[in-house]
Each structure stands twice: as C-alpha cells, then as structure tokens.
Structure 1
Amino acid sequence: MRKMRRKWWIAGLLQALAVWNIIEAQIRYTIPEELNEGTVVGNIAKDLDLKLSEVFERNLRLASESGKQYFGVDSAKGELVVSERIDRETLCSQSATCLLPLEAIVENPLQLYRVEIEIQDINDNSPVFQNNEKVLNIAESTAPGARFRLEAAQDPDVGSNSLRTYTLSKNEHFALNLKSAKDGSQVPELVLEKPLDREKQSTISLMLTALDGGKPARSGTAEITVRVLDNNDNAPVFEKAQYDAQLAENTSPGAVVVTVKAQDLDDGLNKEISYSFGPHTPDVLHRLFSVDSVTGEVKVKNEIDFETDQSFDVDIVARDQGTPPMEGLCSVHLEILDMNDNAPEIVLKSLPSPVREDAPVGTVVALISAKDLDTGENGKVSLTLSPGAPFSLKPSISNHYTLITDQKLDRESHSVYNVVIVAADSGSPQLTSKQEIVVSVLDVNDNPPIFTQPFYSVYVKENSAAGSILCSVSASDPDQGENAKVSYSVLDSRVLDTPVSSYIYINSDNGSIYTMHSFDYEKMKVFQIQVQAKDHGSPSLSSNATVHVFILDQNDNAPAVIYPSAVMGSASHQRMPRSAKAGHLVTKVTAVDADSGHNAWISYRLAEAADASLFSVNLHTGEVRTKRSVSEQDDSSQRLLIEIKDNGEPVQSTTVTVDVLIEDGFHEPVSDYRKKSAEVSKKSGKITLYLIISLASVSLLCLMTFFILLVKCARGSRGSSSCCIRRSESGYKNPNRNLQIQLNTDGPIKYVEVLGGDMMSQSQSFGSYLSPMSEFSDFTLVKPSSTTDFTDTLNVLDASLPDSTWKFESQQLEIRKTNHCGISIKNNFSGFTSESSFMVGQSIT
C-alpha cells in the first residue's frame, strides 16, 4: 500500500511541476500540496524575462498577502522554490480552487507582477467520522421503511479525492440509503427493511464505511449499535427536515435566529420533547449559538464575524421523555450576511523612493495596494490622494496602484511632501482609512548664485596701504549641499592696460576684496571689477556682479608754478618802466595743482618784498601789480617772494621769486632781454635742453593744434568770422566745454584769454600772454616751466566740470608787431586760480 502511494505521489509531482500561465501580466504555477522544502516550482526569472544578473541587481523578491512565506527565490538560478511545506486543507479548507496569490517585486525601476500558485489536492486525508461509535434506539414496533439518519463522514480533500460513497456491512434488517444535501454532499440513512423483534435480537451491530474517490481510495469506519426498544415506538418528527435562515454578522447576542418545532404522536412522557444540538456539534457552534430546550429557539450567544465564517450547518435533536427515549433530527443552515464592518487597508509594497527635482512627469515613486476583508460592494476599494501634492495614483492590476509624479518638482519651494492616501470602500455606511507617506525631493543644481546686489560702489582713499580690504561681496544659492557652495573670482579684465588682478585680490571663500597696492588718484580715478560667483554643482552655474571702485583724492601734491619759471633755482626777472602808474601789471604768476576739488584751489600771497608798499599780488589770479606810482626814490631792483598755497588739508605750498628791474625810459629793450635770456639759457646748460626736448616731444601735438587755433582765430578776427576747434583738434579729451577767446592788453603785456562758460558757477579761462620782450617771428620755446604738457594740464583742470560742446568764438585779435608770447593756461574756480604757462614766440600781425 505504501509503495503504491509513493508511486502516485511521484507521478503527481512530475505532472504538476513547472506548469505556468501568463494572463494579463500574471504568472500562474500549479503544484501539488505537501511538496518538500527546496522543491523547484519554476524559473520565475525566465518567466518574467529577467536576466540572472538582474535577479540580484534589481532585488527580485516575493510578497504574500497572507504574510506567510511559503515560497522563496533562488537568486543564483532565478528559480521559485518551496520554502515551507504546504497543507492545502489548512490553507484553503475545502474550496474547489486553492490559489495562493503572490507579488513579485523588482526594483530599479519598480515593477510588480502578479503570481498565482494553484495548490492541487492530493489524497492525503481519509474520511473521518467525528464519533466512531453510534447508538440508535429503535422501537421494536417500528414499521419497515423507517429511516434513521446517520452521521456523515468528513474528508478535507476536494475534487476526486473527497468523500464519494458509503457502504454498510451485511445484515438482515437494515439497508443503506444515500440522501443528497443542498450542498451536494451525501448523507447516509439506515432504512428498516424487516421488522425488529426484541425478543429474538435486542442489539444489532453494523459497520458503516465511508470511501473517497482517490486512487487508491481511502476509507473511514464507524460502528453503529442498534438497540431494539420496547413500548415507546414513536419518535418526535420535525415540521421541516431542514431549516434555512440568514443572519447578519455582528448581530447582537440574544437575537433569535430560527425556531424549530417537532411533534410526537405518543402520549404522556413519551410525547414531551426537549431540544438540543446534535451530539457532534463543533465547539465553535456552541460558542456562537444556543438552542432553547423547551421552545426550540436558536439564539445568538456571541458576535459573529462574516470574515471568519460565511455559513453554519447545525443539527438539532428533539428527544421525548419515553422509555427508552425516542429522537428526531433536523438540520439548520445559517447563511451569514456580510456587513461593512472592516475599513479598507492600505499596503505599501515598497518604501517611497526619493525623487530628483528634475524628474520627468510620470516617475514612479512607490507601489501601493489596497484590500478590504468585506465582500461585494463592501469590499470594493478606491484610493485617492489628498489635494496639494504634485502626485497622482495610477491604477495597476488587482487593486494595485503606482504613485507617480504629475507635475514638475522644485526642491527650493518644497523639499519634502507628506502625501496622504485615502482608501474608501463602496459599502453603506462608507468606511475609510488613511496612510501618510513621506516623499523627499533630491536637489539638482538648477539655481545660479545670486548676489545681494548687482552693483557695488566702493570708495577708497588714494595712498591707502596695500592689503587693506575694499569691500565684501556676497551671493547666495538656494540649492543644497555642494550645489549651494559658492566660490568667488574676478573675471579677467584690464585697467590702464594692466590686468585687474594686479590691483586687487579676492578671497574665493567669503568674497572679501583686498588691494594689492596703493592707488594714485592723479593716475586713476575710477575702475570697475567683474566678480563672478560660481557654485560647486555639476555642471556649475554662475552669475556676475560689478564693483565700481572710486579713488578719493588726497592732498598729496603741492602747487606747481608754470609761469614765471625759474631756471636752476634762480629768480624770474621782470622789467617795468619807472613811469608806471598805480595798478600797473608787472607780471602774472600762474600755478596748477595736480589734485582735484578743494585740494586744487590755489591762492597767491606776497610773502616778502623789498618794498611792500609798492607791489601787491591778487589772491586769486596771481597778478602782480603796482599799488602806487613808482617814484624816483624807489630802488631800481625789487625782489618779490610770492607764496602759492592750495586749499587742502594739510595745506601744500610753494614759492616763486620774482626780480623786478625798474628802468627809466623803458621802451621794449628787446636786445637786452635777449642777452639776459641767452645768459640764463647758457647757465641752464644741458639740463634745460633735456627738459625742452622732453616737453616738446610730449606736447608737440597740443602746441601744433594751439598754433593752428591762433592762426585761424587771428584770420577770423579780420573778417569778423567765428573760429571753431573740435576737441580732437586741440588734443584735449573733454568735448563738452563752451570757450571764448578774447584779446586783453594790460600795460606792456598783451595776452589772449580763452574763457570756458557753462551753466555752472565755476568757469575756466586760458590766457596766452604776449610779452614785449621778444622779437622772434615764430613759436620758440624759451624755458619749460613744468613737466606737465599742455594737454595733460587741460585734462587735470577739466576733471570736475560738466560736459558740453567746446566752441571757440573769435574776438577781435590784432597784435601788430612781432612778439615773443608767453602762453598761460588759467583755471578759475570761484575764488581761486590755477595756471600753467609756456613761453613761446610767434609773429602775429
């Protein structure tokens, strides 16, 4: 017998292994129950179109809705193997089909597959009677044809392996009859074929055998003892052989489910009936129900759960009080009605994955399923998301959903989302449940650094120490981590044809800008720096800001005397007639200051004089005039020491010595002056020559332009026409000045003034002084009075004046004799005068 069973097991195993079907993204395998651990069910990797390497890399795993893992995956071979022995009867009871649902989950990307394992029954259970012994009390007067219901055997197997038939041992009084119940099962009955005679045989022993349909068949037996009773020969009879009732789950205890009723034709005690459950009623029915022994009411004792049991079948016995007592039997079938008493459940099949903020719409975040223990409409579940999150649920197979993105994400505005999933069933009243999951958004370098301001203005004093801090720029990046780290640098540019990196240095970490050396306002007044802030992302992003650096002037330059110019420290010599009256213009001192603003305001003062009562110096123009008429008693040689001061803090000053020779009958002694000039020139030697060459080379273009200007204006004065010179023709770099030229004569000195006029209170004038001490017929440089050329002087003086168009308007310019002329450039600023002068000669008619 054992050998036959073993052969059958092997045949069934070989036939059932590795049977699978794929139906709409589902895989089904069919296996017999009771397989040993480690038995291979099938190659799930191959059936899922996965390579062996993907089984480990994508973490192929199984999830069971029951929570018990009967199967596992061999990651080395991709095979589905049995990990725990399976008892179909425990798992599915007596259901016709036993399916074990599984979910195969793979990651990267997340995918879900439905796997069903059909567990086939094997004939591993024999029919069993709950009570192996049965005693029937039958009155001897019982007529042939009477039927006596017997206990049905139970076989947990299904299909062909389930209970099929019964057999009864041979006897002369009883036959076996099989009655079909509503559920299709067979109930055995004893049928009395021959009247009983207690006096001949008081006890009859029968053997009832139950057989299943397996091959080989299994069987179970029960011994039936028939006691032949005397007298009470009528048993109670129920009105119905079977009672059917419906009962809602969770019905309150004490409720009457059904009332059974039986009648007995006997009289007296033989007619009195008491009701009770059948002798083999399971304990669960005794716990849930009770039967009233007098009324026959079947009542609820405890709460009933549809999810545990959907129906109940119980036998009710009616027993009279005769001797011996007689019994009648009926069946009660209770159908439990489902109520919506279970809220839906949300199951996370995978933890939510962090999402990059640049993830495309439709990116899978998590796998979610829902289930409800109720049935019908009560068990239909729908999932929704609470509003406000950029996600949506996409239905999958069999109450499964994928949580996906449905909008573009921005970590800077929302870095973490608390997504609330709401599950609702279709019952009445509707039940809901909620599940909150946290979805993190990963940062992407999508924001460049932003400066606190696009432009910075920095003011630094000239001559400040190298290494001092200019300013600090700051930029912030709303990204995270390395994407938010900012480094600062200075873009390559040039200032005065020099790389900007030679002027400043920037700290790449905090944006502090330092000077590399001190600045000179007279060389550079303003420059700008382009600072770049770049983050550490990949690829990195950057932005720029402009830093304007303004150099503030300091009073670090003393006034420079342009006219008169002393050679090698000697005094300047001037001549005047003894017949000069009060107010006679002796000479004019002209000086300039390389500084600007208040630091360049110049004033003149007569510091020392041989006779202070004879001469005076104008505070603002530097004109030296006689205070009174020259008398015969005045010395013919007068020495004047003139001090020139600026308006800066601290005050810078310089002095110039002027020797004035007073002569009788002075009428332009040009030859004497030539001799003196020649002597002075000889004394200056080569140094003067070098200075002349330097000044001439630097100022050549300006002098030529000025020469052309004078010629044009001189010609234009004869025809009363206007003379215009553009800025490019004069060599001066500011085109926005209104200038006027006019001829002035003061005693023996003739000069041309070029006046600049605009809407401001300040004014500029340039004077060309024509000395009577020269007979040269063209421009001749006599002596350099400054190393600053004419164009540079104009540029310095013009630094603070507003722009306007330069125009020269010719006045009547008539000088009818050939003279040497001293050209001075004078800058008048509301109360002070700065001048630059050159001595040149030209024949003017």
Structure 2
Amino acid sequence: MCEDWSEFRGSERYRVLPGLRSSLIKGTDSQPGPAMGRPRRGGPGAGQLLRWAVLQAAWAAAMGQVRYSVAEEAEAGTVVGRLAQELGVAAAELVSRPLRVVPEGGGGSLEVNAQSGALVVRSRLDREALCGPSPRCALELEVVVGKPPRLFHVEVEIQDVNDNAPLFPAEKKNLSIAESRVPGSRFPLEGASDADIGTNSQLRYTLSANEHFALELQNSKEQRNSLALLLKKPLDREEAAEHRLLLTATDGGKPELTGTAQLVISVLDANDNAPVCDQPVYEVRLFENAPIGTLVIKLNATDSDEGMNKDISFSFSNTFTPSFRNMFKIDPDRGEVRLKGELDFENVSLYEIRIDATDRGALPLTGHCTLVVEVLDVNDNAPELRVTSLSVPVPEDAPPGTVVAVISVSDRDSGANGRVSCSIGAELPFRLVGTFKNSQALVLSEAVDRERVAEYEVVVRARDGGAPSLWASSRLVVPLSDVNDNAPAFAQAVYTVFVRENSPAGAPLVRVSAWDPDAGANGRVSYGAVERRVGERPLSSYVWVQAESGSICALQPLDYEEVQVLQFEVSARDGGLPSLSGQASVQVFVVDANDNAPVVSPWGRGLGPAWEAVSLSAGAGQVVGKVQAVDADSGYNAWLRYEVQDPLSAGPFRVGVYSGEISTSRALEEADGPVRSLVIVVRDHGEPALSASATVSLSLVESVRAVAWESGPGGGSGGAAVDSNVSLLIAIWSVSGLLVVVIAAWVGVRCCGGPAEACGSGEGPAVCSSGGGSWSSSQQQRQSRLVCVGEGGAKRDLMVFSPVVPSSADNWAAEKQQDATPNPCGTVSGVLL
C-alpha cells in the first residue's frame, strides 16, 4: 500500500483502486449511488454485492475506505458526501483537524469544504475523459485528517449521463455503385460510436426516405453489430447519377441524442442506353444547284451514359442505297452531312436517309434517325417541244379551226419553272390552242391561199415561268396543197394580130398564153377556140388552136376581100376536177395584099372604046370626060392613078392623075380633030402595082350637045365624075390628117404612161401610111376597127392601111425574137404584127 501511496503522491492524479479495476475487467457492473454522495450499500446482483462487501470489508479493515458516487457533469459545489461526518470528525474539530485531499490542488475535480467537511465537486467531471469506454468509472481519493494525522481512502464513483451524441467516423461517406448491380446487393457501412456507456451507448440507425436503399443491421458471432446498405431497386444513372442519403444514429439515453452522416452514392455508368438523336426525323431543303461540299445538316445525338459509353459515331445505315452514298458523305465524329455529288431535281426530288448513331461502349448500342433531303427545283431546264402529229400539206380551202399540228410541250422543272407558255408570230394565219395539260394544237385562224403563199414557216416558241426564264423553239414547215380555185387567166383580154392576106395555110397567126396559179393538173392549161360561124362557114375552117402551146394557126389563106376582120374567142381550161376556164378575144385583121388589078367600069353596051363628043370651042381646062375604075383591094392597093399611055398622042387633052377626068390643056383647034383616041392607063399603088387600061375616043364637033356615056353603074356626065373624084381625094386627105393627129396624141399618152395602157398589155395596132398620107376608097367602103378592153371601157382607133407593107419574113423574124417558142404552124408569110 505504501508503494501505491507514493505513486499517488508523486503523479498528483487520481487513480482507480486496483481492486476496482480488477472488478471492471471482469465485467462487474455497479450502479451509481445517490447524487449526494451517500455510501453505496449494495449492488443489484447478489454475487456482485457479496464480492463488493468482501472487498469493502477488507479495504475498510486495512485502510478505513469510504465510498461515494456522483453523476458526471455535476455542477461545481455539488456535495458528493459528508466526509467529516463519515470519518467521525465533528464540525468543531475541523478547524483544528482540517480535512484535505491528497494531493491537494493538482487540478483535482473534488475538494473538501473547510467549513462543513463535505466532499464537493470542484470542477466539471467528465466520465469519458476520466475512464474512457470503461463500464465503471471511480476516483480513488486519500483524505488526511490532521492532529493526529490519519489517512482514509475515499472512492468516488462517477455515474454516466447521456452527454455524448453518437459520432460517425466521417460526416460524409462516398460510395460508388454500378447501375448494373442487382437488387439485394449489400454494401457495408461503418457505424457510429457513442462515448457513453450502457443504455446511453446503445444505438439504432435510420436512413432518410428513398426508393432504392435500406439499412440492414446484422449480428455477428462476436456479438458485434454489422451495418450494411441494402439495394432494393435497380439504379439508373441516367435517371439519377447521384443519391444523397442521411444516415442517423440515435442512442438510448434520455433524452436521446443523435448523430448523422451523409451518404453520397455515385452511380457508376453501364452502357445501357443507346444514343438518341435530337430529332427522329431531320428535314432539310436544298436547291438542286447547291455546290459539292455544301453542309446539309449537322446531326446531334446524346447518350445518357458517360465516358466511352457516351461517345457517339455517326454513319449511314446499311439500307442506304449505293447511289445515295455517291450523293452524300458524313463525318462520323462531327455528324456533319455534306454534299458529295450533284443534285438533280428532275432525277430525284427527295432523299430519305437512315442514319445510325453508335456509342463506343464495350457492347455498343445504336440509335437511329432519318434525314429527309428535299431537293428544290431551280430553272435549269429549258422547255422541250415535240411535234407529235403533223397534218401536211394543208388544203388551201381548209376552213379556220383545222388542226395542222399537235405539239407536245414539256419542262422537267416544276412549279413556275415548269409552267410553259407558247406563242407564234402574229402575222401568221395560225393560232395555238391548248388541248391537254402539256399539248398545244396549231390550228388555222383564217383562210389561206396557196397562190399567194405556198408554204408557211411557223416558229413555235415556248417560254417557262422561271426567273430568268428559259425558252426553246421549234420550226414547222406547213405547205399548202392546191385546190382548183383559180381559173386560167390570159395575159391579155384581147389579142390583136394583123395577117397579110393570101398567107399560106398553116401560118401562125398569134400565140395566146394563159396562166393558172394552181399547181399540178389544176394549173395545167389547154387551149381551144370557141366555135362560131364566120359568115356561112364555121370558125374551125379558118383557124386551129394548138391545145398545149396556145398557138393559133390559119388553116387556109385568108382573103381580105372575103374577110377583113376575123374575131373569135379562145378558151383556156385547166385540168382540175371540176375544171375551170377563162376566155380571151382574138381579133385577126387581114391586111390587104395587092392581088386585084384595077377594073375600069364599063360604059355603053360593050367593052370597046368609049366615045365622047367634044366641042371645038372648049377652052383650056374644060373637062370633056372621065374614066372611072375600081379596085377590089383597099388602102394604097385601091388608090388608083390615071395617066395617058402615050402623052404625045394625047394632043390638047390630059387626064387627072387621081380623078380620071379628061380635060383640055389648051384651047382646041381644028387641026386637033376630027377624032383623037386616048389610051388611059389606070394603076394602083400596090407593090407591085397592077394596072388596067381603057381607050377613050374624042370626037371634035362644031356644036356642043349632051352625050350620054354608056358606062354602066359608074357612068354619068363629066361633071358628076369630077365631083366623085374630088370627093374621094378630100376624104383621103381628111382621114390622113386625122390619122396624124391621133398618132401624135397616142404617142404622147404612151410616153407619159397615161390611159393608153387601159387597152391591155398588148401594143396598139400598127398604122401604115403612104408618102401621100392618104388612102383611096374602093368599090365598097370598108372600115377597120380595133376593140380595146381595159379599165376605161372600149375605144375605137382609126387605122390607115398602107399598101407599102414590110415583108412577111421580116415581121416573122421580129416575132421570133420576142417569142422563142418554135412555130408549130409551119412557114410564115404575109403577116403584119
């Protein structure tokens, strides 16, 4: 004991008695006594009380030990026990015999009150600090009573109170659990500790409300509690990547104290989610002229997983056709889809592309989306024209509205770019009529005339509605087929020709020409004369018209004295069905030839010489008789000239050159008689000139008496003959003067292009005159007339026929130069043109 005391004094700290420590090690449990420090009289268990009593008795016998109990955390001044009273020290003795705890001071928690001798609490008592986790905690004190000093052992048991809350090793506990763990999995947790003992240290645990976890408390074989976290429901990192739970530990004290720890559960990812595109269907519009390399779209997909499980690679689906692959390419990392080829709206207007988004997990998952690329049309195709039906040639009598051609119009573009309008020239007799959606009919809009325009060139222009618009054209040649709608038309309405009489049979008179603007047989013209009678004979006995060439030939020599003007109609008929015809007038003027010699009119009863009685008293210039002759010819061929065949034998008589009057050239004498015979020669002016002669016998008598000439129809007195010849000369000269005036006027009109052209396209009649500028009348007075047809109506021109006629060969040569057509009628002679 002395050893224990010295150790106590030297360390200046409280010690637990060895016997008490032994009882604690063995598990002896004792309950604290009253708070006022009453000595403990027994314990709860019989065995424990027995052992305790034995120990106390032994201690008391040896040392005089006193035991007290006090609750920890008692306030300063709390009386633990009346130590002086227990030791038998009266209050009055405390002054002389003070009580003190050994060692004094030293920071002790208990002390003895000097006045009352009570053991009181000096400073805070902390059972956990003094005894730690021991079930029983007691302080052993040595109390010295002075004079005489005595040493007492005092034991103060510190009773536990619930002054310590449960305490976890860390305020925050991090756990990592894979989302692939199945329900029922356990995850051990480190429980809390409580510095108190007994019931105050008995803990129960609770977990904040959640649907995934629960607490499981297991008892091990060593009677130790094992705390675990139990997984009730599968985790989903994509739904909640982290769970924060509050673990609460509650002790059994009263009042209860709690301690908490936060459980931070991180859910580890498993590749259980496939990538998901932002949109299930991406719709993009691109113009077909978008250049190669144009960004079509940038795809975006997300994966709820993390790490490699969320890294996404894009690719075209295996269902993507190779032709589409040539049009697009995709960046697997960026998800950019770009043009690889040239778009063509007319070939493909819509692309539907399946795209796969695949993560890079150990077992990769794939998401899908669709890219729809709509190709927008641009005006890159010109309209197309195609003639599907062409009905040519078109009859020229086709009515308006006749369909000529059907034109198919198309444009591979769409919308306004493919809306086509067609047009043709405004001056054409056609118009376009829409028949179907993409068809135009070219129809006649007005009557057409092949003779005016035989063929039309129609250019159909098609223009679309794009901006800028594109156009195309198609050229159609529309020929017109002929119908027999035109009658042959002669170049002249009246053909005038002069033919020398006695021309040989077969001599061509004139060639008529008619033109028919129709084609083929409709324009093939044949000629013929319109039959009529000329006098007592038919026209066909005089002339013949060649059907193919239109040449008119004389079938017999023409006799001027029989027919002076041969006028007839020539028809021209085409070969159409039915045929059409036209007519022209032909006037054949027979030019007189000097084929008749003058004929002296007979007088008396015979053809012998004529006798005339002449008075010897007749003076110079007195008409004593007249010779009268006629010529069947006309013009100069009928213009007669009288002369004495032998002028020397005429003596005092002479003959009027144109009158045929026999007159005296001087006064008569008896030497001139009694009888004078004159041979009178009558000549015409023809070439060659023809003549006749008559013998006139003049008997010179003394007295004058009337003598009647027996000269037939032309007979009469000398005065009457003179009057007749004078009248003839006056008429010839008058007509010649009028002819000169008419020729001058006609030349003037022709030179100025005036109304003279109204007589048709042919030249006017040729006018011939002799040197004397006159003509003479024959037995029958004849007139020549020319009928002109034109705008101004019919005219009459005076023609004078001259016996001086150019040779027929010269005239025919001139005609040959004007018309190179061979003469079908044979040799030409005696024709004046």
Displacement of 1:298 after TM fit?
A: 0.8
Aligned to 2:316: 277
Aligned residue among 220, 235, 239 for 2:278: 239
Aligned to 2:553: 514
Displacement of 1:379 after TM fit?
A: 3.5
Tell whether the 8 Å contact from 1:586 to 1:624 is kept in structure 2 after alignment: yes
Aligned to 1:125: none
Aligned to 1:157: none
Distance 1:368 1:455 in 2: 52
Distance 1:615 1:795 in 2: 26
Aligned residue among 511, 525, 534 for 1:472: 511
- Give the aligned residue type for 2:628: T
- Give the aligned residue type for 2:779: V
Aligned residue among 456, 460, 474 for 2:499: 460
Query: Would the alpha carbon gap of residues 244 and 231 (structure 1) be closer, same or farther in structure 2, given more than 3 Å must change?
Result: same
Distance 2:722 2:682 in 1: 22
Displacement of 1:327 after TM fit?
A: 3.7
Query: Would the alpha carbon gap of residues 651 and 514 (structure 1) be closer, same or farther in structure 2, given more than 3 Å must change?
Result: same
What is the TM-score when the length of structure 1 is the normalising length? 0.51
Partner deviation per Cα, 1:98-137 (whole Å, 9 max, x = no partner)? xxxxxxxxxxxxxxxxxxxxxxxxxxxxxxxxxxxxxxxx
- Residue 658 of structure 1 aligns to a residue whose secondary structure is strand
Distance 2:780 2:340 in 1: 116
Alignment of 1:19-58 (within 5 A): none
Aligned to 1:439: 478
Distance 1:578 1:525 in 2: 49
Distance 2:416 2:281 in 1: 30
- State whether structure 2 residue 730 is matched by structure 1 residue 659: no
Query: Would the alpha carbon gap of residues 142 and 562 (structure 1) be closer, same or farther in structure 2, given more than 3 Å must change?
Result: farther
Tell whether the 8 Å contact from 2:626 to 2:721 is kept in structure 1 after alignment: no
Query: Would the alpha carbon gap of residues 368 and 607 (structure 1) be closer, same or farther in structure 2, given more than 3 Å must change?
Result: closer
Distance 2:274 2:634 in 1: 138
Aligned residue among 352, 359, 362 for 2:391: 352
Query: Would the alpha carbon gap of residues 530 and 297 (structure 1) be closer, same or farther in structure 2, given more than 3 Å must change?
Result: same
Aligned to 1:639: 677
Aligned to 1:422: 461
- State whether structure 2 residue 358 is matched by structure 1 residue 375: no
Alignment of 1:377-416 (within 5 A): 377-416=416-455
Displacement of 1:358 after TM fit?
A: 0.7
Aligned to 1:342: 381
- Residue 409 of structure 1 aligns to a residue whose secondary structure is coil
Listed as ranges, the gaps of 5+ residues in structure 2 are 1-177, 184-232, 236-268, 736-775, 786-800, 802-833
Distance 1:751 1:535 in 2: 62
Distance 2:304 2:494 in 1: 116
Tell whether the 8 Å contact from 2:626 to 2:718 is kept in structure 1 after alignment: no
Distance 2:330 2:426 in 1: 54
Q: Percent identity?
A: 40
Aligned to 1:531: 570
- State whether structure 2 residue 733 is matched by structure 1 residue 762: yes
Tell whether the 8 Å contact from 1:352 to 1:437 is kept in structure 2 after alignment: no
- Residue 505 of structure 1 aligns to a residue whose secondary structure is strand
Query: Would the alpha carbon gap of residues 557 and 257 (structure 1) be closer, same or farther in structure 2, given more than 3 Å must change?
Result: same
Tell whether the 8 Å contact from 1:260 to 1:296 is kept in structure 2 after alignment: yes
Tell whether the 8 Å contact from 1:642 to 1:656 is kept in structure 2 after alignment: yes
Displacement of 1:532 after TM fit?
A: 1.1
Tell whether the 8 Å contact from 1:609 to 1:639 is kept in structure 2 after alignment: no
Tell whether the 8 Å contact from 2:628 to 2:660 is kept in structure 1 after alignment: yes
Displacement of 1:352 after TM fit?
A: 2.9
- Give the aligned residue type for 2:422: L
Distance 1:244 1:535 in 2: 77
- Give the aligned residue type for 1:446: D
Distance 1:669 1:442 in 2: 89
- State whether structure 2 residue 630 is matched by structure 1 residue 592: yes
- Residue 762 of structure 1 aligns to a residue whose secondary structure is helix
* Residues paired across the two proteins, number: 488
- State whether structure 2 residue 300 is matched by structure 1 residue 261: yes
Aligned to 1:796: 779
Distance 2:497 2:640 in 1: 29
Alignment of 1:40-79 (within 5 A): none
- Give the aligned residue type for 2:655: V
Aligned to 2:610: 572
- Give the aligned residue type for 1:593: D
Listed as ranges, the gaps of 5+ residues in structure 1 are 1-138, 145-193, 197-229, 678-691, 707-742, 765-792, 803-828, 830-845
- Residue 326 of structure 2 aligns to a residue whose secondary structure is helix
- Give the aligned residue type for 1:643: V
**Segment of structure 1 superposing worse, 623-632 or 328-337:** 623-632
Partner deviation per Cα, 1:51-103 (whole Å, 9 max, x = no partner)? xxxxxxxxxxxxxxxxxxxxxxxxxxxxxxxxxxxxxxxxxxxxxxxxxxxxx
Partner deviation per Cα, 1:604-662 (whole Å, 9 max, x = no partner)? 22224895434333333333344555555556343322222222221211111223344
Aligned to 1:606: 644
Aligned to 2:350: 311
- Residue 350 of structure 1 aligns to a residue whose secondary structure is strand
Distance 1:618 1:262 in 2: 146
Displacement of 1:500 after TM fit?
A: 1.9
Distance 1:287 1:750 in 2: 129
Aligned residue among 467, 470, 490 for 2:529: 490
Query: Would the alpha carbon gap of residues 446 and 669 (structure 1) be closer, same or farther in structure 2, given more than 3 Å must change?
Result: closer
Alignment of 1:199-214 (within 5 A): none
Displacement of 1:256 after TM fit?
A: 0.9
Distance 2:617 2:691 in 1: 34
Aligned to 1:650: 688
Aligned to 2:742: none
Query: Would the alpha carbon gap of residues 250 and 142 (structure 1) be closer, same or farther in structure 2, given more than 3 Å must change?
Result: farther
Displacement of 1:242 after TM fit?
A: 3.5
Query: Would the alpha carbon gap of residues 430 and 300 (structure 1) be closer, same or farther in structure 2, given more than 3 Å must change?
Result: same
Aligned to 1:178: none
Displacement of 1:454 after TM fit?
A: 1.2
Displacement of 1:470 after TM fit?
A: 0.7
Partner deviation per Cα, 1:234-285 (whole Å, 9 max, x = no partner)? 5544333443322232321111111112344555544543322223332223
What is the TM-score when the length of structure 2 is the normalising length? 0.52
Query: Would the alpha carbon gap of residues 755 and 641 (structure 1) be closer, same or farther in structure 2, given more than 3 Å must change?
Result: closer
- Residue 406 of structure 2 aligns to a residue whose secondary structure is strand
- Residue 587 of structure 1 aligns to a residue whose secondary structure is strand
Distance 1:284 1:572 in 2: 135
- Give the aligned residue type for 1:646: D
Partner deviation per Cα, 1:447-467 (whole Å, 9 max, x = no partner)? 111111112110111122121
Displacement of 1:309 after TM fit?
A: 3.0
Distance 2:411 2:665 in 1: 121
- Give the aligned residue type for 1:644: V
Displacement of 1:475 after TM fit?
A: 0.8
Displacement of 1:474 after TM fit?
A: 0.6
- Give the aligned residue type for 1:640: L
Alignment of 1:77-226 (within 5 A): 141=180
Displacement of 1:392 after TM fit?
A: 1.9
- State whether structure 2 residue 403 is matched by structure 1 residue 364: yes
Distance 2:620 2:278 in 1: 162
Displacement of 1:507 after TM fit?
A: 0.6
